[in-house]
Every structure is written in C-alpha cells, then in structure tokens.
Amino acid sequence: MPWDLVKLNDGRSMPSIAYGTWTLGNGQSAVDQVDQALSVGFDHVDTAQSYRNEQEAGQALKESGLARSDIFVTTKWSGQADIPTSIRNSVGNLGISYVDLYLVHSPRLAVPDIPTTWKQMEQVVKDGLAKSIGISNFNVEQMQELLNSANIKPVANQILFHPYVYAQQKPILDFASQHGIIIEAYSLLIPLTHQPGGPLDKPLSSIASRLDVSPDQVLMAWAKAKGVVVVTTSSKESRLKGYLAAGDLKLTSDDIDAIDEAGAAGARRLTAKTLLRRAAGLALLTAGALAVCSYLGIDVL
C-alpha cells in the first residue's frame, strides 16, 4: 500500500492522500471527475459546504459501488448556516448518514469565539453525524485556544503546506505533533502551479529526472516524508495515477535537504519582493500626498 492509513487521536484511521473537490465546479463534469478519482484508487474525498459540489461527490460515491466503510469522506463547515443545520445539509447532499471527518473551514468563522464553535462541533460527533472532527487554517494560538476548552481534541488541521511556506508553517506542525493532531496539506503543488521560476525548479527537476518521475510526484514524496496527509486534485487521470504512485517514492535525506533549502530561499525572495512592493507603494502614496499639498499650496517641507 503506497499511501498508508494514518492513526488519528480518537482511535480511527484516515487514508494519507485525499482527492479534493474545490475546483471541480458542479454538475455532471464534477461527478465524472470524482468518479475518475475513485476508479484510479483514491479512497478519501475532501469536499466542503462552500465548494457547492457535495451532491456531485455523493453521486459519484454511490455510483462507485464502494462500501461506505471503504471510503473516507471529509467535508467542512464553511459558515453558510449554523453548524447543526450545515452538517445535516452536508450529509444529506452527500447521501450518507455520517461523514468521517468534519472540519471548521477557517478560524474566521468561529463566531462569537472558538470555544463556542468547538462545542457545536463536539455535538456533531455526539449526534453521530461525524466520526471525527477537526479544523482548517488554524494557527498555533487558535489551536491552543481550542484545546484549552475542548472535550474532544481535533484529529487534524488542514493547512496551506508547500516548500515555500514550510518554515513559516513549521510551528503549526510542531504544535500539532505535540498534541497528536495530524496535519493535512493543501495546495502542495503551488511551486509548480502558481510560482514556477523559483529556486525549487532546479532541485525538483533534477530529483525528478534521477528517479524518472515528475516534479509533482517529488513534492508528494517530500510531503509524505514530512509526515503530513496530502489533499490534492487533478482532472487528468494520468496525474492522479502519478500522485498515487508517488507514495512509493523514496527520497534521500540530501533530496529533502535540497528541497527545504530551496523552499527557504524562495520564501526569502518572496519576503524581499513583498517589502519592495510595499516600499514602492509607500513612495507612490507619499509622492501623491506631496503633489496634493503642493497643489493646495500647503508647505510640508
């Protein structure tokens, strides 16, 4: 089994790679894409109230003929209604009686506060509508606030995770690990999809050539080595097969170090770019203000 099951802190298990439905849209094409993912071997589907395709995911699950116990379904409370209403709508849309994992999509939704929101999440487990509960996009302070009053610990925190943000996200990984919380990585492939041309390009392509695989597979193997669960997607069958096959890849510690170093270099570059952009913005603003003052005859110097 290339991607193993990971043990959760509530005694349950979760497949360590998931197929995500965020960008699928809806209608028949979304059903077909989830169908395709299930038929190549994905057994963990990650959806959300806000993705507006829970029904399509549910239809594909039904069509797959897979037993309910052979598929792990995650959905998220995205704040479209209160938690008790939302979870009932989600399981109804998915056509199942429970989800395996229910996540708070963002700490920003936790109104009036995190403890009150988490109490409602705990009730979802008591009502049998979710087997496990977790969070998404929570930082260390928000996780600590939640744990201070939790009766049921979150099993997972789904966060942005790729080499360019690895150092930035590391405190979340360390805190989660201390508390037995699994990290799920989304947007792992951003260095290829949105930030090509950075310091990672070279090590990724040289490791990929040596192992006769593609750079996305190298990123998957890197994430696996960091002990996180991967949430990914593609409309291409060949890519989906590649993601699953990447579970068998073995990177050396030198490979991992090279990716970590290039990731850190990319992060420094992005910080420098952001600072430059801010400085340019400030300069423009100052020039504008000076021009207005001069036009109004105000002497500022």
Q: Where along the sequence are the contacts to ligand NAI (CB under 6 A)?
A: 20-23, 46, 136-137, 158, 186-190, 192-193, 214-216, 231-234, 239
Within 10 Å of residue 213's Cβ, how many Cβ atoms? 18
**Residue carrying the six token digits 């009053």:** 149
Distances (CA, A) of 249 to 166, 217, 261: 20, 8, 20
Q: Select 127 or 237, whichever has its Cβ closest to ligand NAI.
A: 237
Q: Select 51 or 215, whichever has its Cβ closest to ligand LYFO2JCZ.
A: 51
**What is the identity of the amino acid at 168?**
Q
Q: Select 117 or 214, whichever has its Cβ closest to ligand LYFO2JCZ.
A: 117
Residue 125 and residue 134: Cα distance in Å, rounded?
Answer: 11
Q: Does 48 bind ligand LYFO2JCZ (CB under 6 A)?
A: yes
Q: How far is the CB of 158 from ligand LYFO2JCZ (least distance, A)?
A: 8
Instruction: Give me the catalytic one of 19, 51, 164, 186.
Output: 51
Q: Which does 43 bind (CB under 5 to 8 A by kind): ligand NAI, ligand LYFO2JCZ, none?
A: none
- Count, residues near ligand LYFO2JCZ per rule CB under 6 A: 6
Q: Does 106 bind ligand LYFO2JCZ (CB under 6 A)?
A: yes
Record the tokens describing residue 150, joined without a space: 């939790």
Q: Which does 157 bind (CB under 5 to 8 A by kind): ligand NAI, ligand LYFO2JCZ, none?
A: none
Pairing of strands 72-77, 229-232: unpaired
Give the contacts of 179 (CB within 8 A, at least 6 positions apart): 9, 143, 147, 153
Contact 77, 83 (CB under 8 A): yes
- Known binding residues are 105
